[in-house]
């Protein structure tokens, strides 16, 4: 079922290629942590890291998606928002390759892609439909490449405004 065909869902998306530079940074921190140290001796040392990244990317997407400035941009698509917020420093800080605000049916979006990333805008066209009306994080595999995905409906800071465009 194409959820986007009946309503226009507004989303904030944060993507990162896996494995990525942020994984070793988190692994080093976790290896030193007594709570997670034993996790790295088993066959799946990155499970803890990826679970932490799910929470981190969901938090990033929710922060941006529930931010009044993002909501206002989704309504009026003002260039001020892009000029003041879509900066490379956020990609570096988040360990992300792509930030995107989009309206699925109206066909508009604003995207920032890292200069070091191999991702392009076509990756967004191949995203699954089922996350459009939700908020969360996960891994999607597109063209054989695993991508860490954080996504959020755009609802403003009160979380009550409609996310439909």
Q: What is the pLDDT of residues 79-131, one digit of tens each?
A: 999 999 999 999 999 989 999 998 877 778 899 999 888 888 888 887 777 77
State how far the Cα of 25 lies from the Cα of 95, in Å rounded to an integer. 10
All residues at 6 or more sequence positions from 148 whose CB lies less than 8 Å from its CB, including other chains: 15, 16, 17, 18, 20, 50, 53, 54, 57, 137, 138, 139
Contact between 111 and 121 under an 8 Å Cβ cutoff? The reply is: yes
State how far the Cα of 14 lies from the Cα of 151, in Å rounded to an integer. 6
Angle between helices 22-32 and 46-65 (to 10 degrees): 120
Residue 78: what are its φ and ψ, rounded to 5°? Answer: -75, 140
Write down the pLDDT at residue 120.
Answer: 82
State how far the Cα of 26 lies from the Cα of 120, in Å rounded to an integer. 26
State how far the Cα of 38 lies from the Cα of 163, in Å rounded to an integer. 42
State how far the Cα of 26 lies from the Cα of 41, in Å rounded to an integer. 15
pLDDT-based confidence at residue 27 (cuts at 50, 70, 90): very low
Q: Is residue 76 over pLDDT 50? A: yes
Write down the pLDDT at residue 38.
Answer: 53
Contact between 157 and 62 under an 8 Å Cβ cutoff? The reply is: no
């Amino acid at each position: 079922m194409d959820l986007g065909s009946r309503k226009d869902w507004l989303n904030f998306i944060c993507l990162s290629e896996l494995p990525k530079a942020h994984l070793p940074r988190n692994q080093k921190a976790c290896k030193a942590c007594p709570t997670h140290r034993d996790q790295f001796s088993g066959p799946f040392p990155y499970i803890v890291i990826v679970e932490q990244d799910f929470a981190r990317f969901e938090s990033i997407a929710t922060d941006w998606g529930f931010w009044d400035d993002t909501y206002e941009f989704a309504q009026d698509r003002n260039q001020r928002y892009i000029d003041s917020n879509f900066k490379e420093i956020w990609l570096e800080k988040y360990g992300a390759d792509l930030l995107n605000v989009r309206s699925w049916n109206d066909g508009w979006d604003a995207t920032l892609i890292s200069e070091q990333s191999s991702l392009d805008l076509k990756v967004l066209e191949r995203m699954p439909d089922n996350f459009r009306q939700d908020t969360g994080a996960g891994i999607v595999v597109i063209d054989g490449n695993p991508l860490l995905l954080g996504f959020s409906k755009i609802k403003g800071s009160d979380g009550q405004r409609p996310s439909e465009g």
